[in-house]
Structures are given as C-alpha cells and as structure tokens.
Chains A and B, each alone.
Chain A
Amino acid sequence: GAVVSQHPSRVICKSGTSVKIECRSLDFQATTMFWYRQFPKQSLMLMATSNEGSKATYEQGVEKDKFLINHASLTLSTLTVTSAHPEDSSFYICSATGGRSTGELFFGEGSRLTVL
C-alpha cells in the first residue's frame, strides 16, 4: 500500500534554531498534506492543510511565520519550526492524500521535537 515517510523521527535542537521536518509520499502523488501537532497527553491537533503548489491554510491560533509549511512537489511537504523554543517541543505528524478519486488518507510515523 501507499506509504508516507516522515523524517526525522526524533530531533533535539537548541533554542533559537530552526528545524525542518519532511513528509514524503513514496508511491503516490499527494495533492494534499496535513500537519498535526500533539501536546503531551492530549489529542492530535490540525495545524495546517497544504495543497501542492499553493500556500498552506493554517488553523486558528497557529502562527504561520513560526511554522513554515512548503508543499512544492506532489511527493514532498516540509514543516519548518523557526526560532524554536522549548514550548515548541511536541510530536508532529503529517498525513497525505492523493485526492477523493484515489481515496485514502495516509499517515507519517511522526516526528518528536525536543527543544532545549
């Protein structure tokens, strides 16, 4: 079946640095990708929706300048956490779909970010 690969699975960085997380669809063209965040002991929360070739749509309360999302190709979306701070430490997950005609929504494995 289709696979969505997320990288890195774990990253530790210093406060003030930027971190990039990649989400790749390995065997299908992902027209739409979604980024979620999970706070400790809480449910996953949608951060933004990105369609290939266009700007991401951010959910209310998510800082677009803080969480830069790029979906430049049909197989790759990136989430960059800029000037990371300890409160950005979280678990980030992407999901991808090739659209209604191809059906399913597929999930990345997730990336755990720890900002020191």
Chain B
Amino acid sequence: KNEVEQSPQNLTAQEGEFITINCSYSVGISALHWLQQHPGGGIVSLFMLSSGKKKHGRLIATINIQEKHSSLHITASHPRDSAVYICAVEEDSNYQLIWGAGTKLIIKP
C-alpha cells in the first residue's frame, strides 16, 4: 500500500463544475503540498498545509491531520485548470517528500 494515495487517478469534468481531488496518507507529517504539473512538465506549487484550510483564487485546500486526509477543490473549473495535480507529504522527521501518483484532470469546455 502506498503511503500517499490520491483519488481519483483521472477526472474529466465540464467547465464550471466544482472539482475535488483527495489525498490520504499513512505517515506522520509536518506538512502537505499540493502541486500542479502542466502537460509540458512544469511544476507550480499551489499550497503548503500543516493544518486547516487555505484559499488562493478558485483553489481551496484543506487538511485534517487527525484523519490524515487532504482535499484540493477547484471552484468554477476552467479548461486551463487541466493538469496533473500532485499531493506530497513531508514526513515528521525530515524534509523528504513522499509523493502521490497524481490526479490527471481534464476540464472540457
């Protein structure tokens, strides 16, 4: 069993839909990252969370430390949101990251 599990693996939705991507982990962490990877490969760091909730534009990220679960939400989704969204956790003891496999999101116009 992977230590970081993302779901769904693939998600296709219509423009305007509310999107939720989930990340569950099994290790003790000091922080959780959400990153966006575009088809060309470029990485953009979206959020770093250690508790609670963060919002940036149409993106919202939440984390529940007790349940070891985080969600990334996209409101009013747009085709330009199409990308792979990756969850990664920093283990308690060091900065080394455990990466999720990613969720490929396609937003159709």
Q: List chain A positions with a Cβ less than 8 A from chain B.
A: 9-10, 32, 34, 36, 38, 42-46, 49, 91, 93, 95, 97, 104-110, 112
Q: Please tell me if the beta carbons of A91 and B45 are within 8 angstroms of each other in the complex.
A: no
- Given contact pairs A43-B99, A44-B99, A107-B43, enumerate 6 new A-B contacts (beta carbons under 8 Å): A10-B40, A36-B99, A44-B86, A46-B96, A104-B31, A109-B44
Secondary structure at the B interface, as helix, strand, loop or mixed, is: strand
Q: List chain B positions with a Cβ less than 8 A from chain A.
A: 31, 33, 35, 37, 40-45, 48, 86, 88, 90, 95-97, 99-102
Interchain Cβ contacts within 8 Å, total number = 51
**Which residues in A have their C-beta under 8 angstroms from that of B97?**
34, 36, 44, 46, 95, 105
Q: Please tell me if the beta carbons of A106 and B45 are within 8 angstroms of each other in the complex.
A: yes
Name the one of A9, A91, A107 contacting B35, with C-beta atoms under 8 angstroms: A107
Report if A110-B96 is in contact (Cβ < 8 Å); known contacts: A43-B101, A44-B88. no
With both chains docked as a complex, state the minimum distance between the C-beta of A30 and any C-beta of chain B, in angstroms. Answer: 11
**Which residues in B have their C-beta under 8 angstroms from that of A91?**
41
Secondary structure at the A interface, as helix, strand, loop or mixed, is: strand
Report if A105-B31 is in contact (Cβ < 8 Å); known contacts: A93-B43, A97-B95, A110-B43. yes
Q: Which residue of B lies closest to A33 (CB)?
A: B95
Q: Please tell me if the beta carbons of B102 and A49 are within 8 angstroms of each other in the complex.
A: no
| Docked complex Cα distance between A36 and B31 (Å) | 18
Q: Please tell me if the beta carbons of A43 and B42 are within 8 angstroms of each other in the complex.
A: no
With both chains docked as a complex, state the minimum distance between the C-beta of A11 and any C-beta of chain B, in angstroms. Answer: 12
